[in-house]
């Protein structure tokens, strides 16, 4: 069990550029979540996959954000036309079942300049 | 909307006991989780309550009262390494079998020598 893996760990980009992050969940976990966290705040839910199906997406999420999990294993989160307000830590988490705790990766820290 | 409240900061002395409170008002309830997060690291799971009462796990205990929308995390025999942010999170049912973990803003605990 290598845990949830995210890359890159850090990303600096200029405003207006597109960025893509990757998450590899724990192998037997079929549920995958993306969260965003800013300094001094708790993680904020973005979206949820069960296997390859995206079952829930936050209403607060801009349409510049899109996530995929094409084969029900790894997932990608893309942000198009980045804005300075997108600067945050993007956390991925996975779980085995509805009643089991979420296991988080170490996150990707995005800085938009 | 979902509302989860916890104190922003707490300070305690090494060897002491500290209680971190959490109150919640959410559209549904399917369990309450406590996570620990050190600066720059992923949140790590500490405890889970779905029924009323106390769950004990070594130096950590968590209590839940669903009728009062209230939980607390109790940390005994505090150690310097317990200095971290403690996140209260409520699992909320979504459509179908989906569940969403909604977090409070976290309580930053500082343990002093």
- pLDDT tens digits along B22-46: 999 998 898 999 999 999 899 999 9
How close does chain A come to B29, measured CA to CA in Å?
A: 12
The owner of tokens 């399917």 is B30
Residue of B nearest to A6 (CA): B42
The per-residue pLDDT for B97 is 66
B95 to chain A: which residues are within 8 Å by CB?
Answer: 55-56
Task: Test B94 with A55 for CB contact under 8 angstroms.
Answer: yes
Which residue in B111, B112, B113 sits closest to B38, CA to CA? Answer: B111
Q: Which tokens belong to A112? A: 């938009």
Report yes or no: A26 and A95 within 8 Å, Cβ to Cβ: no
Chain B within 8 Å of A54 (Cβ-Cβ)?
no
Alpha helical stretches, state H, chain B: none
The SS3 assignment for A44 reads strand
Q: Is the pLDDT of residue A1 over 60?
A: no
Cα–Cα distance, A6 to A22 (Å, whole number)? 6
A103 to chain B: which residues are within 8 Å by CB?
Answer: 45
Provide, rounded to the nearest whole percent, the portion of chain A with pLDDT above 70. Answer: 99
Give residue-wise pLDDT tens across range A76-99: 999 999 999 999 999 999 998 777
Task: Test B43 with A45 for CB contact under 8 angstroms.
Answer: no
Cα–Cα distance, B104 to B94 (Å, whole number)? 18
Residues 6+ apart with CB under 8 A from B27: B1, B2, B92
Which residue in A2, A4, A15, A21 sits closest to A106, CA to CA? Answer: A4
Q: Which contiguous run of DSSP H or E holds residue A10?
A: strand A10-13
How far is CA B24 from each of CA A57, B32, B35, B92, rounded to the nearest angstrom?
A: 22, 10, 16, 11
Q: Is the pLDDT of residue A25 over 60?
A: yes
Give residue-wise pLDDT tens across range B45-94: 999 999 999 999 999 999 999 999 999 999 999 999 999 999 999 998 87
Bigger pLDDT: A1 or B87? Answer: B87
Q: Is the pLDDT of residue B99 over 80?
A: no
The per-residue pLDDT for B79 is 97
Nearest CB to B100; choose among A41, A45, A105: A45
Task: Test B102 with A45 for CB contact under 8 angstroms.
Answer: yes
The per-residue pLDDT for B69 is 97
Cα–Cα distance, A103 to A92 (Å, whole number)? 8
The per-residue pLDDT for A72 is 86
Provide, rounded to the nearest whole percent, the portion of chain B with pLDDT above 90. Answer: 84
Q: Which tokens belong to B104? A: 């409070």
């Amino acid at each position: 069990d290598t845990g949830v893996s995210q890359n890159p760990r850090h990303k600096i980009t200029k405003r207006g550029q597109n960025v893509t992050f990757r998450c590899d969940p724990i192998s037997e976990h079929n549920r995958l979540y993306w969260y965003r966290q800013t300094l001094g705040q708790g993680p904020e839910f973005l979206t949820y996959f069960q296997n390859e199906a995206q079952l829930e997406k936050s209403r607060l999420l801009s349409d510049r954000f899109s996530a995929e999990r094409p084969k029900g294993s790894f997932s990608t989160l893309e942000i198009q036309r980045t804005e300075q307000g997108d600067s945050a830590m993007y956390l991925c988490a996975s779980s085995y079942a509805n009643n089991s705790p979420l296991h988080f990766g170490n996150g990707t820290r995005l800085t938009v300049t | 909307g979902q509302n989860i409240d916890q104190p922003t900061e707490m300070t305690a002395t090494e060897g002491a006991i500290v209680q971190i409170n959490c109150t919640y008002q959410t559209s549904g309830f399917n369990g309450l989780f406590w996570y620990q997060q050190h600066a720059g690291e992923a949140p790590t799971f500490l405890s889970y309550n779905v029924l009323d009462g106390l769950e004990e796990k070594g130096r950590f205990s968590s209590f839940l009262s669903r009728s009062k929308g209230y939980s607390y995390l109790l940390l005994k025999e505090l150690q310097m390494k317990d200095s971290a942010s403690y996140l209260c999170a409520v699992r909320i049912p979504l459509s179908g079998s989906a569940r969403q973990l909604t977090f409070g803003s976290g309580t930053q605990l500082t343990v002093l020598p």
